[in-house]
Amino acid sequence: MICIYDQRLPEEIVEKLSASGFFLLPSKNCEKLSGALSTHPDVQVCKISDEIIVASPEVYDYYKNILEKYGIIVRKGGTVLGDKYPSDSAYNLAANETLAIHNFKFTDDEVKKLIKTKELREISINQGYSKCNILFSKTGIITSDMGIYKKLTGVKKLLISPGNISLAGYNYGFIGGASGTFKDTVYFLGDPSLHPDFEEIKNFLEEDETDFKILSKKPLADYGSLIFLQGGKDD
pLDDT in tens, 156-193: 999 999 999 999 999 999 999 999 999 999 999 999 99
pLDDT for res 232 = 67
Instruction: Kindly state the average pLDDT of the residues 200-210.
Output: 98
β-strand pairing of 99-102 with 94-95: antiparallel
**pLDDT over 70 at 24, yes or no:** yes
CA 229, CA 60: separation in Å to the nearest integer?
A: 16
231 vs 163, higher pLDDT: 163
pLDDT for res 113 = 98
Instruction: Kindly state the average pLDDT of the residues 220-232.
Output: 94
Q: Is the dihedral of CA 212, 218, 219, 220 positive or negative?
A: negative
pLDDT in tens, 32-57: 898 999 999 999 999 999 999 999 99
- Rounded to whole angstroms, what are the CA distances from 62 to 50, 58, 65, 72, 190? 18, 9, 6, 13, 28
**pLDDT over 90 at 234, yes or no:** no
Q: Is the pTM of this model over 0.75?
A: yes
pLDDT in tens, 113-125: 999 999 999 999 9
CB 133 within 8 A of CB 127: yes
**pLDDT over 60 at 30, yes or no:** yes
Cβ count near 51 (within 10 Å):
16
CA 52, CA 195: separation in Å to the nearest integer?
A: 33
Q: For residue 231, name the pLDDT band (cuts at 50, 70, 90).
A: confident
Q: For residue 233, name the pLDDT band (cuts at 50, 70, 90).
A: low
CA 144, CA 43: separation in Å to the nearest integer?
A: 19
